[in-house]
Each structure stands twice: as C-alpha cells, then as structure tokens.
Amino acid sequence: MEKTAAIVHSDPDILGGTPVFVGTRVPLRNLIDYLGGGYSLDEFLDAFPSVSRKQAVAALDAAHSGQHLI
C-alpha cells in the first residue's frame, strides 16, 4: 500500500488547508461525498480526472483501516 502522506495532504496555500489529493486541488471530501451520494468510484474518477484510481483506492483503504490520512 502507498504511504498515506503520498495520497492526501493539507497545505494552507491550497484551498485554505483543506485536505486534497496530492498533485491536485481535489478535496478528499469530494470522494466521500460522491460515494455517500450513491455515485460509483468510476463516476468520481470521471468527474475528477486529476485523481488517479490508485490514489482514490489507497485513500479508501487507509480510511477503512483507520489510518490517518494527513
């Protein structure tokens, strides 16, 4: 599994410190909201192509196992 630091980070200069996927301006919250709203992972990835499948799956795996993402 990827290190969580390589998946999501928080930087005060990017969206005011909102946790985003590394290399993007896409908040982690968007993934959670999409899945919680009944959308699939593929629909999220289509809507946010700057997030890789590997990043999204690693974030979900980390959250599921109780790891801190930031």
Which tokens sit at 63?
């959250």
Q: What pTM was estimated for this model as a whole?
A: 0.86
Which tokens sit at 27?
């908040």
Q: What is the structure's pLDDT at 43?
A: 98
Would you kindly state where each structural domain of the chain is located, as residue ranges? 4-64
Q: What is the structure's pLDDT at 64?
A: 86
What does the pLDDT look like over 27-51, one tens digit per residue? Answer: 999 999 999 999 999 999 999 999 9
Q: Which CATH architecture has domain 4-64?
A: Orthogonal Bundle (1.10)
The span from the CA of 6 to the CA of 36, in Å, is: 24
The DSSP element (H or E) to which 8 belongs, if any, is strand 8-9
Q: What is the structure's pLDDT at 67?
A: 79
